Amino acid sequence: MQIIPLLLKEMEEEAAITRKMLQRVPDDKFDWKPHERSMVMSALTVHIAELPSWVQMALTSSELDFAKMDYTPTPVSSSADLLAIFEKSYSQGREALSSAKEEDLLPEWTLRNGEQVYMVFTKYEVIRHSFAQTIHHRAQLGVYLRLLNIPIPGSYGPSADEQSF
């Protein structure tokens, strides 16, 4: 059984759901957050939009060391900005996965902050973890949207806002 075609299919299906969610983010709510310990909408949604690029990162590197990186989230002021970030990230991830060979999924990949190692996964596991992170943070976004009284699009079937019966 070939794993890469299955991952590509899942990535495509999750991307369609993510697009629907990101399209719902109101342009005037990027500074909003539901709780003092929550991320602001812009931080959460940019993270969601950038997650597909982790597929490329996993396949083209052996680790991510937060101590060595200089990350600044891309500023956004509209859902159009957000979708542009997502489409670029998705394209990068999908292209890297499409070009990969099955054996490219087997090497280990490490997430760390200097000497502190958070996780060591195979590259396959990093890709699956990035999909799970997308789903997790998309669910958080659903809570944000619900609290703002914005209808939630369906993910794996119709949402309560979309049901017509």
Both tokens of 61, joined, read: 């590197």
Angstrom CA distances, 54 to 1, 26, 63, 163, stand at 24, 26, 11, 34
Is pLDDT above 70 for 164? no
Question: 15: closest CA among 58, 43, 52?
Answer: 52
- Average pLDDT (117-125) is 98
Residue ranges for the known binding site for a divalent metal cation are: 47, 137
Is pLDDT above 80 for 165? no
- Average pLDDT (119-131) is 98
Residue ranges for the known binding site are: 47, 137
Question: pLDDT value at position 162?
Answer: 86
At the topology level, CATH places domain 4-147 in Four Helix Bundle (Hemerythrin (Met), subunit A) (1.20.120)
- Average pLDDT (155-161) is 91
Domain boundaries, the chain: 4-147
